[in-house]
């Protein structure tokens, strides 16, 4: 009797049972894939170099770092010189602006340090601002030669802050002058910078006649034959391009640095997904960061798609017309070329525009 009742069970019940079994198997497969993916991403995160706290140097060491960039005064030099005591600064440190949860600021720092060496001067400081409401991404370069007040060390160039106290002191110095709140830092040295670009297969950069000529005339074992126009640059060539300054000024150099970053992003976006992941895994050990792993996961989910889809804008600070530039007499017998008497309030407003919540 039971067997006859079982045989007469409605067909739809058997279909539901089969569907439930298939669904359970699919869920198990998806969970297994998710677990493998998590372990893969977690392994990638472990390849990053993490910095929990920064070391600081003594005032004596800081003074020797300064001296490496100071210019010996030429008695016959007719260039007007400003005494350091005549340079003006904000009357008190500026508190960071309220940016809102929709803003993430990541500071990218490029420095000329070899493996095992302590932090060196920051040759490039580029703030990457993500606005999750407007969908905008902006690169803001901070000129390295700004004459600023570094907490605990007095007045000197902004690029020295990183060599005195790493990411923490650089962030504090920028917060005091620009009111900017930095959510995390990523640093890379020149050798790693070259390696990343070479692994991408090079980057396309549009060279001017002066830039191509300057790169071709650099003293190196290999003589380059670069031409004006779009050129595919190797890691070494891209680094030299980003550091060119003698043909114009630091203003144009920061623009070249942003162009290289934009070109790297474009080259990365053009890769197939699997190749993108492989390149990312290989690149992880080349970076140093103070961003906790759990926050990196959140950024990866929320910011990575934004960076690959947004039309990235760029600017430099201080902006034109908001500062003076020239030689400052920093000590007896020494000058330094700096940007000084900066209108930090005007430049803070330019940063605040990036935090706008209106689309």
Determine contact, residues 142/175, Cβ cutoff 8 Å: no
The percent helix, strand, coil of the chain (3-state, each to 5) is 45, 20, 30
With beta carbons less than 8 A apart as the criterion, state whether 229 and 208 touch.
no
- Tell me the pairing of strands 324-331 and 81-83: parallel
pLDDT tens track for 261-276: 989 888 887 777 777 7
Cis amide prior to 318 (ω within 30 degrees):
yes
Which tokens belong to 207? 């060279």
Where helices occur in 235-343 by DSSP H, the ranges are 235-243, 250-269, 273-283, 293-302, 304-309
pTM (two decimals) = 0.83
User: May I ask the CATH architecture of the domain 47-355?
Assistant: 3-Layer(aba) Sandwich (3.40)
pLDDT value for 1 = 47
Could you please report the per-residue DSSP string of 4-30?
HHHHTS-HHHHHHHHHHHHHHHHHHHH
Mean pLDDT, the chain cut into blocks of 10 residues (359 residues total): 54 70 73 57 70 82 81 69 85 74 91 68 91 90 94 92 93 93 90 88 93 84 84 93 84 90 84 76 84 83 75 91 90 86 92 75
Q: What is the pLDDT of residues 102-121, one digit of tens each?
A: 899 999 999 876 656 667 78
Q: What is the sign, positive or negative, of the torsion defined by CA atoms of 255, 258, 262, 263?
A: positive
Contact 148, 119 (CB under 8 A): no
pLDDT at 357 (0 to 100)? 63
The strand ranges marked E within 163-311 are: 184-189, 203-207, 229-233, 288-289
Domain residue limits, the chain: 47-355
Give the pLDDT of residue 257.
92
- E strands of 91-217, at which residues? 103-111, 122-131, 136-142, 147-150, 154-157, 184-189, 203-207
Other Cβ atoms within 10 Å of 38 Cβ, number: 11
* Greatest Cα-to-Cα distance within the chain, rounded to the nearest angstrom: 117
What is the rounded distance in angstroms from the CA atom of residue 183 to the CA atom of residue 206? 32
The predicted pLDDT at position 40 comes to 56
Residue 340 is predicted with a pLDDT of 93
What is the C-alpha to C-alpha distance for residues 285 and 292, in angstroms, rounded to an integer? 15
State the pLDDT at residue 267. Answer: 83
Pairing between β-strand 81-83 and β-strand 71-72 as defined by DSSP bridges: unpaired
């Amino acid at each position: 009797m039971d067997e006859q009742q079982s045989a007469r069970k409605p067909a739809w019940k058997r279909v539901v049972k089969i569907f439930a079994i298939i669904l359970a198997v699919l869920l198990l497969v998806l969970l297994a894939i998710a677990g493998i993916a998590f372990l893969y991403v977690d392994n990638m995160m472990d390849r990053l170099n993490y910095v929990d706290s920064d070391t600081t140097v003594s005032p004596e060491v800081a003074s020797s770092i300064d001296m490496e960039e100071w210019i010996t005064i030429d008695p016959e030099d007719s260039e007007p010189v400003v005494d350091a005591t005549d340079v003006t600064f904000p009357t008190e440190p500026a508190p960071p602006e309220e940016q809102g949860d929709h803003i993430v600021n990541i500071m990218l720092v490029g420095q000329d340090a070899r493996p095992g060496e302590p932090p060196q001067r920051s040759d490039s400081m580029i703030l990457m601002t993500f606005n999750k409401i407007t969908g905008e991404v902006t690169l803001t370069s901070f000129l390295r030669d700004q004459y600023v007040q570094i907490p605990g060390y007095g007045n000197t160039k902004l690029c020295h802050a990183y060599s005195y106290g790493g990411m923490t002191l650089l962030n504090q110095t920028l917060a005091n002058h620009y009111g900017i709140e930095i959510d995390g830092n990523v640093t890379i040295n020149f050798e790693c910078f070259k390696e990343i670009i070479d692994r991408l297969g090079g980057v396309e950069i549009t060279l001017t006649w002066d830039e191509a000529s300057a790169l071709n005339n650099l003293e190196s074992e290999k003589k380059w034959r670069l031409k004006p126009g779009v050129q595919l640059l190797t890691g070494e060539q891209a680094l030299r391009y980003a550091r060119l300054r003698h043909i114009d000024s630091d203003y144009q150099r920061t623009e070249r640095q942003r162009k290289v970053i934009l070109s790297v992003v474009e080259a990365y976006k053009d890769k197939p997904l699997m190749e993108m992941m492989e390149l990312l895994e290989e690149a992880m050990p080349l970076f140093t960061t103070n961003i906790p792993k759990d926050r990196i996961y959140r950024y990866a989910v929320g910011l990575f798609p934004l960076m690959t889809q947004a039309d990235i804008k760029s600017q430099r600070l201080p902006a034109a017309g908001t500062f003076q530039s020239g030689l400052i007499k920093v000590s007896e017998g020494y000058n330094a070329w700096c940007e000084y008497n900066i209108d930090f309030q005007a430049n803070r407003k330019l940063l605040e525009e990036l935090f706008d919540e209106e689309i």
